[in-house]
Amino acid sequence: MSATVSTGPASDVSAPFAINGVSIDDTFAEAFPMKATRLIITARDAVWARHAAVAATGFATSVIACGCEAGIEREIPAGETPDGRPGMAILIFSMSGKELAKQVERRVGQCVLTCPTTAIFAGIEAGEAIALAKNLRFFGDGWQISKMIDGVRYWRVPVMDGEFVAQETTSVIKGVGGGNLLFLARDTDAALAAAQAAVDAMRRVPNVIMPFPGGVVRSGSKVGSKYAALPASTNDAFCPTLAERSPRSVLTGDTRSVLEIVIDGLSDADVAQAMRAGIEAVTARGADGGVVRISAGNYGGKLGPFHFHLRELCGAREAS
């Protein structure tokens, strides 16, 4: 489908702007620095590699309460993995290298070591080294064996189906968390269909994950709460049931459902590429798809240094 773009003069970025009848808000998504690593999980077949990857990335939607944000990046064919078996690449993000190291060790120990036929390897070479099997090897109770290959140490830990092979360390690099898109739709069916189309497009972009269930979150949050103990609370500005009650509401009567996609990436360029892919997937459906507006969440630039302006991602200035 060819996109029909409407916009005002290039110098007037606050003018109405829409693609195929879907309005693009004049706003930006605000993201912040994180620490990140990639792990490669392999197994005798893709089914068991995925079982381990799903378990290892569970309960990892938000650093607010989970300690990390994690997800499956992609499936890797056998010809591209370190041991020539089918694999899965997962990305894990946290707010500090120390917390990330803790999350990696726990998740690998409880979810990969335990899964039949699996092995695990670092998916990033450069960066600060943290333990992968360095401590988990002690599960071998003295029977574990190390092997150096091309200057990299691996551990072979005896388990009941044979051996668990794991690289000794993985690397931590700088990442970006909190990129986001908000889809304001006429109803829940339209919002879900749009969000699913956007997630499908984003998953084709390398170096990113969408950590919430199915890549989509309905409980968008704002910083702070009327309750002092809570660091975050419901984003009432985008809650349809509060459209006529909350003074912060930005919704009009034609919006009855809002869904959000949060994106974490290894760089700001990766996050921008994923957001662009998501916007294109939704605007390609046009106004008949039920999405009224595309917006994003930010805190006035106070939360993080990475600002992704929606209209710039759409090429508004170039298209005018």
Considering the domain architecture, whether residues 148 and 51 belong to the same structural domain is answered as: yes
Query: What whole-number percentage of the chain has pLDDT above 90?
Result: 90
Cα–Cα distance between 71 and 39 in angstroms, integer?
11
- Residue 263 has a pLDDT of 98
**Model-level pTM?**
0.93
Indicate whether 146 and 251 sit together in one domain: no
**173, 201, 236: which is the final residue of a domain?**
173
Chosen domain end from 149, 173, 197:
173
The pLDDT confidence band at residue 12, using thresholds 50, 70 and 90, is very low
Residue 15 pLDDT > 80: no
Which phi-psi region, left, alpha or beta, contains residue 249 (left: φ > 0; alpha: ψ -120 to 50)?
beta
What is the structure's pLDDT at 302?
Answer: 84
100 and 183 share one domain: no
- Residue span of the structural domain in which 114 resides: 35-173
* pLDDT band with cut points at 50, 70 and 90 for residue 11: very low
pLDDT of residue 10: 35
Judge whether residue 8 has pLDDT over 90. Answer: no
How much is the pLDDT for 1?
39
Q: Are 187 and 288 part of one and the same domain?
A: yes
Residue among 256, 232, 286, 242 at smallest CA distance from 184: 256
Q: pLDDT tens-digit profile of 152-179?
A: 999 999 999 999 999 999 999 999 999 9
Domain end residue (candidates: 158, 173, 188): 173
Confidence check: pLDDT of 4 > 60 = no
Q: Which residue has the higher pLDDT, 2 or 14?
A: 14
* pLDDT per position as a tens digit, 210-267: 999 999 999 999 889 999 999 999 999 999 999 999 999 999 999 999 999 999 999 9
